[in-house]
Amino acid sequence: MKIMVIVAHPNLENSRANRALMQQAKQNTNGNVDIRDLYKEYPDWNIDIEREQQLILQYDRVVFQFPFYWYSCPPLLKKWFDDVLTFGWAFGPEGNSLRGKEFMLSTTAAGLEQGYRAGGDNWYTASELLRPIQATLNRCKVNYLPAFVAYNVDRISDEVLQAEAHRYADQVLAPAIVESRY
């Protein structure tokens, strides 16, 4: 299985958690995982739509890794969705290019896990808050896999962060056992 991890962090150099996850993915590639830094590739925000579409077609699974920003993704990743997932290519009557491919979200949150539940500080689970992105991907007829969420990343110890990185590799890089909806 070929996997592409698209890291979308506007300040990756200063992100202890996202760098740890990215490093873990690099260590577990076995030649089948490619990692891309969206902010490094597009510092001017001029996304090469055709290139991105052609890249996606080469992979079985696409993982979007990003910090949880105001209950969503960083703005360049949102722009990527808007620009790359076009009508007639990714969705719509003739938009079947992504049908059956696996897509997954991987996000890091500064808040505690118990803050992301009914009645918690954020009122909703991370899964509920990620639903707009999930709905976008579902519109593209993909197999949406359960999201990976690492909590409390600003305060966890190096040991706990390393354990989260291993959990990330186990979930994100492992073959999924899901039946296609399409």
Rounded CA separation 52/58 (Å): 10
Place of tokens 């899901």: 178
H or E element at residue 96: none
Rounded CA separation 98/103 (Å): 9
pLDDT of amino acid 29: 62
For residue 21, what are the contacts with CB-CB under 8 A and spacing of at least 6?
65, 106, 108, 150, 164, 165, 168
Closest CA to 150 of 16, 61, 17, 25: 17
**For helices 16-27 and 158-172, what crossing angle results, to 10°?**
50
CA distances from 40 to 8, 82, 144 (A): 9, 19, 26
Q: From first to last of the 182 residues of the chain, give the pLDDT tens digit.
A: 899 999 999 987 888 888 788 888 877 667 788 999 999 999 999 999 999 999 999 999 999 999 988 888 999 999 999 999 999 999 999 999 999 899 999 998 887 777 788 888 879 888 989 999 999 999 999 999 999 898 888 887 888 888 888 888 888 887 665 555 65
Cα angle for residues 164, 170, 176 (degrees, 5° grid): 135
Contact (Cβ atoms closer than 8 angstroms) between residue 32 and residue 3: yes
What stretches of the chain show up as alpha helix (H) in DSSP?
16-27, 38-41, 49-57, 75-84, 126-129, 131-139, 158-172
Number of helices (H) and strands (E) in the chain: give both, helices first: 7, 6
pTM: 0.91
Rounded CA separation 110/69 (Å): 10
Rounded CA separation 11/178 (Å): 34
